[in-house]
């Protein structure tokens, strides 16, 4: 059975109440009725507006609760990765201009002081804690189970992870308490000080409730320790006790996959998109038997703008003028002058000399200028329409009288050197492998969906260099290139990347202006245009009713006019369609997160995209542990357990993100790095981040190779324990590796349509089934590579499935 044959489903969210949606999800697939979001300029919720020549700062914004946080996200505000829950509410960090700060204050948000200003792009951009999609029903079911029996503790420890990060020793604990929905109590964790020592000898720490959208998820917290504990104990406020052994998070194995003489450290500075593409072309030319550069089918809209100017100070008397030609194709040579004729009773007139446009304004009998903005715009369009398009400011009637203005050149305001192309830009990938014909397992790595994230492209270049330069001397690398078909795209968004390097460091999006006439189309809005390429994909998007993207053309999370409207996104979709593509890594910054699907939820109710199955999520976790251990090997930097997991567990909703498209649409195991602690750190830090995360990206290749070579069939066993009520037993399946278990309880032959063994809940392990004593259980397991236990044929007529009885051993 191929991996694509495992149960997969996608469901668009209907335009219904939260309760109706929940009912639909329980009832199964149905024809979706979706309400299209507002257009870019009409009917949208209140959104922020960003003006040109304003630099963005990082400021604190305090909201009352999760509902107000969702409202803040809906304004399109550009949030960094930082959410802190305090007694007064939730504190987030926003990347905003002074104009946006003023707008937030008018909307009633509490805006604090500046944390980092525009001169601090090389400093640490504050991270944010995560929110998580959750289901209140899980809490209710858990409480109901406890109410039926007094033998089950009302507190359950989900995770207890010890890890080192740098010189620090840390214990991270997550636990679920039955009263957590209604009680605000913290939980106290008591530690031992090693094997054979008493609980409490290693000290205590407190963990706090994690509540999102009014739904209790679990308690969590981390604290520094001086010695590694072996066991921890939590005693709930009601007196119930839970004890577990502590596991080590990301232990570094003694064996190193990098053999003697392994070459690395190939990046020496930040690279613009032009330089990134030149680098992969150089590599392909040097290693023609192992690599080739592929131009992806869709060119971007280009690092280019029309030349523009806005004349006038007040909105009512402003005239905006745009060239018809691109700035670099002649638009930058145009100038406009609004001249006072210096005489009485003069008519409005326009003269054009080459590309110099002179508007002689009308005057009255006293010689005062009388031409309005609307009249000047109309005259320019009538007399200079072959060169320019003029209009009043952002839908204003233009009734105000214009002020004379000296000759002012139009400009596209682009500052990149001439060596940066202004034409629609090709997007390039380097394809690496001994056999690049689609016959090998495909792996995709891509970076710079968000323009201002300068470190992730370096990770891709460092990785490409390592793969090619170590091929001749390192046997492990040689195996990777024989086994895999590797595609690396160092910059998905070259237009935005160039704009971030040369024009506006905080640029997140591409450069395409989708704002409609009468909206924010003038030169003063030029830093507000573009589509967020990581909100423009097809699965669980804004257009499906999911949260975390904006319909406003000036929002930093603008989803675009439609799914896959942007060439950058079409290129990723084209790559994902390759039948052999099985693994991917989307590289972003910042925050040191490591995540996978689901990545979106709908509000109200935080209704999440479907979670992976227990087997799929087990595979994600297992592979992630390998990848993160490889990252840690470089300088002992640990991506923490709290920042590892499904996006809906550890970050925020990102409707229409690429990882969800790759996973739900194409069945690709898709991960997302959030590299480092800043978008543009100092070079010394950027250099180290590139090296350590390249370790992780190469380890993903090793995961893919092992997947490709995996012919080992899983095994599974049945565990039976006393039930909580008379006449029942508790049943669990244990597997030898991440594998799906399909089972029947009626004596029937199990198949792929049988019940799939599931997770007990968010970030919990496998479920425990409660069945009547004597139940006949038939089952089989299948791993991620499609290997079926005992070579059983679930869709055939073989009978070598597993058999068991729900009975306790006697004697």
Q: How confident is the model over 597-629, as pLDDT tens digits?
A: 999 999 888 889 999 999 999 999 999 999 999
Segments of 481-580 assigned E as strands: 484-489
pLDDT 10s digits, 480-531: 999 999 999 999 999 999 999 999 999 999 999 999 999 999 999 999 999 9
Which pLDDT value is given to residue 295? 98
Phi, psi of 732 (to 5 degrees): -135, 150
Higher pLDDT, 647 or 746: 746
Q: How confident is the model at residue 147 (pLDDT cuts 50, 70, 90)?
A: low
Higher pLDDT, 749 or 260: 749
Sheet containing strand 581-588, strands side by side: 291-295, 428-432, 484-489, 441-447, 581-588, 669-674, 593-596, 644-646
Higher pLDDT, 806 or 74: 806
Which pLDDT value is given to residue 18? 29
- Angstrom distances, CA of residue 629 to CA of 515, 617, 621, 701: 45, 18, 12, 14
Report whether pLDDT(31) > 90: no
Phi, psi of 422 (to 5 degrees): -100, 0
Over residues 753-771, the mean pLDDT reads 93
* Residue 603 token pair: 């509000």
Residue 213 zone, left/alpha/beta (φ > 0; ψ -120 to 50; rest): left
Report whether pLDDT(260) > 60: yes
Report whether pLDDT(367) > 90: yes
Query: 136 pairs with which residues across the strands?
Result: none
Which pLDDT value is given to residue 214? 62
Of all residues in the chain, the percent with pLDDT exceeding 70 is 88
Which pLDDT value is given to residue 78? 85
The CA distance from 26 to 449, in Å, is 35
Of all residues in the chain, the percent with pLDDT exceeding 90 is 73
Angle between helices 683-709 and 614-635 (to 10 degrees): 140
Closest to 350 (Cα-Cα) out of 379, 381, 386, 390:
379
* Residue 613 token pair: 């199955």
Which pLDDT value is given to residue 81? 62
Over residues 588-602, the mean pLDDT reads 93
Q: How confident is the model at residue 142 (pLDDT cuts 50, 70, 90)?
A: low
Report whether pLDDT(20) > 70: no
Q: What is the mean pLDDT of the chain?
A: 88
> DSSP assignment, residue 663?
I
Report whether pLDDT(716) > 50: yes
571-585, 603-617, 796-810 — most confident range: 571-585
Cα of first residue to Cα of last residue in the chain, in angstroms, is: 41
The CA distance from 543 to 563, in Å, is 7
User: Dihedral (C-alpha) 244, 249, 254, 255: value to the nearest 10 degrees?
Assistant: 120
Higher pLDDT, 738 or 122: 738
Report whether pLDDT(87) > 90: no
Q: How confident is the model at residue 189 (pLDDT cuts 50, 70, 90)?
A: very high
Which pLDDT value is given to residue 677? 86
Q: How confident is the model at residue 69 (pLDDT cuts 50, 70, 90)?
A: confident
Q: How confident is the model at residue 36 (pLDDT cuts 50, 70, 90)?
A: very low
Q: Which residue has the tokens 């839908």?
A: 395
Which pLDDT value is given to residue 144? 60
Which pLDDT value is given to residue 622? 95
Report whether pLDDT(6) > 70: no
* Residue 644 token pair: 């590892």
Over residues 100-127, the mean pLDDT reads 70
Report whether pLDDT(29) > 50: no
Which pLDDT value is given to residue 74? 74
Which pLDDT value is given to residue 83? 62
Angle between helices 455-469 and 683-709 (to 10 degrees): 50
Q: Which residue has the tokens 């507006």?
A: 49
* Residue 159 token pair: 């995770």
Query: Which range has the worst mean pLDDT, 95-99, 187-191, 394-398?
Result: 95-99
Which pLDDT value is given to residue 407? 97
Over residues 161-175, the mean pLDDT reads 91
Angle between helices 273-286 and 455-469 (to 10 degrees): 0
Q: How confident is the model at residue 10 (pLDDT cuts 50, 70, 90)?
A: very low
Q: How confident is the model at residue 165 (pLDDT cuts 50, 70, 90)?
A: confident
Q: How confident is the model at residue 120 (pLDDT cuts 50, 70, 90)?
A: low
Query: Which range has the worst mean pLDDT, 123-132, 276-285, 299-308, 539-548?
Result: 123-132
Q: How confident is the model at residue 46 (pLDDT cuts 50, 70, 90)?
A: low
């Amino acid at each position: 059975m191929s991996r694509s044959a495992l149960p997969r489903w996608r469901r668009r969210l209907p335009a219904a109440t939260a309760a109706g949606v929940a009912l639909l999800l329980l009832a199964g697939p149905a024809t979706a009725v979706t309400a299209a979001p507002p257009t870019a300029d009409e009917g949208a919720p209140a959104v922020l507006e960003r003006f040109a020549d304003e630099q963005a700062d990082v400021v604190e914004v305090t909201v009352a609760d999760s509902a107000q946080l969702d409202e803040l996200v809906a304004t399109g505000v550009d949030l960094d990765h930082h959410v802190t829950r305090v007694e007064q509410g939730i504190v987030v960090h926003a990347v905003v201009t002074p104009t946006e700060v003023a707008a937030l204050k008018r909307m009633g948000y509490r805006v604090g002081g500046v944390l980092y200003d525009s001169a601090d792009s090389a400093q640490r951009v504050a991270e944010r804690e995560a929110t998580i999609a959750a289901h209140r029903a899980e809490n209710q079911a858990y409480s109901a189970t406890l109410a039926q029996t007094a033998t089950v503790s009302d507190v359950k420890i989900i995770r207890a992870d010890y890890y080192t990060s740098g010189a620090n020793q840390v214990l991270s604990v997550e636990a679920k308490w039955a009263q957590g929905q209604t009680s605000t109590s913290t939980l106290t964790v008591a530690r031992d000080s090693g094997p054979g020592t008493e609980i409490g000898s290693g000290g205590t720490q407190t963990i706090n409730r994690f509540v999102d959208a009014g739904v209790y998820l679990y308690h969590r917290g981390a604290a520094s320790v001086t010695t590694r504990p072996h066991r921890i104990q939590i005693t709930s406020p009601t007196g119930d006790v839970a004890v577990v052994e502590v596991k080590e998070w990301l232990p570094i194995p003694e064996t190193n996959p990098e053999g003697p003489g392994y070459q690395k450290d190939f990046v020496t500075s930040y690279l613009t998109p032009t330089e990134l593409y030149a680098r992969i072309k150089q590599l392909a030319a040097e290693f023609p038997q192992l690599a080739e550069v592929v131009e992806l089918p869709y060119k971007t809209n280009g690092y280019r703008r029309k030349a523009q100017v806005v004349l006038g100070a007040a909105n009512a008397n402003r005239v905006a003028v745009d060239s018809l030609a691109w700035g670099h194709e002649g638009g930058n040579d145009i100038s406009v002058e609004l001249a006072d004729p210096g005489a009485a009773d003069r008519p409005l007139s326009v003269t054009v000399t080459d590309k110099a446009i002179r508007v002689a304004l009308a005057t009255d009998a006293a010689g005062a200028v009388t031409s309005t903005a609307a009249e000047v715009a109309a005259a320019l369009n009538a007399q200079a329409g072959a060169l320019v398009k003029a209009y009043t400011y952002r839908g204003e009637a233009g009734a105000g009288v214009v002020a004379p203005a000296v000759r002012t050149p139009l400009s596209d305001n682009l500052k990149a050197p001439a060596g940066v192309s202004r034409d629609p830009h090709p997007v390039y990938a380097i394809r690496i492998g001994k056999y690049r014909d689609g016959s090998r397992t495909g792996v995709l790595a891509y970076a710079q969906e968000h323009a201002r994230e300068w470190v992730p492209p370096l990770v891709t270049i460092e990785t490409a260099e390592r793969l090619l330069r170590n091929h001749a001397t390192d046997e492990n690398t040689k195996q990777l290139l024989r086994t895999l078909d590797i595609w690396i795209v160092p910059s998905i968004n070259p237009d935005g990347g160039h704009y971030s390097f040369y024009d506006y460091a905080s640029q997140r999006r591409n450069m395409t202006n989708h704002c409609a006439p009468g909206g924010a189309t003038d030169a003063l809005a030029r830093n507000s245009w573009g589509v967020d390429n990581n909100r423009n994909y097809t699965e669980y998007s804004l257009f499906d009713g999911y949260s975390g993207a904006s319909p406003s053309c000036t929002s930093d999370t603008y989803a675009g006019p439609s799914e896959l409207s942007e060439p950058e996104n079409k290129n990723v979709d084209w790559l994902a369609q390759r039948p052999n593509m099985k693994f991917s890594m989307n590289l972003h910054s910042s925050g040191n997160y490591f995540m996978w699907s689901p990545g979106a939820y709908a509000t109200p109710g935080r209704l999440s995209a479907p979670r992976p199955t227990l087997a799929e999520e087990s595979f994600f976790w297992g592979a992630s542990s390998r990848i993160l251990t490889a990252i840690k090997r470089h300088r002992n930097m640990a991506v923490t357990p709290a920042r590892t997991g499904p996006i809906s567990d550890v970050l925020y909703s990102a409707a229409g993100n690429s990882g969800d498209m790759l996973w739900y649409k194409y069945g690709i195991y898709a991960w997302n790095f959030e590299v480092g602690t800043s978008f543009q750190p100092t070079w010394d830090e950027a250099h180290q981040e590139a090296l350590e995360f390249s370790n992780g990206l190469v380890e993903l290749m090793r995961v893919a190779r092992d997947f490709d070579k995996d012919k080992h069939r899983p095994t599974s066993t049945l565990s039976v324990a006393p039930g909580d009520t008379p006449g029942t037993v508790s049943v669990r399946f244990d597997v030898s590796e991440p594998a799906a278990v399909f089972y029947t309880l009626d004596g029937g032959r199990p198949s792929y349509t049988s019940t799939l063994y599931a997770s007990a809940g968010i970030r919990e392990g496998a479920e425990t089934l409660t069945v009547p004593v004597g139940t006949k259980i038939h089952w089989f397991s299948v791993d991620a590579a499609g290997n079926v236990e005992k070579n059983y044929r679930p869709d055939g007529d073989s009978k070598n499935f597993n058999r068991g009885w729900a009975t306790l051993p006697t004697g």
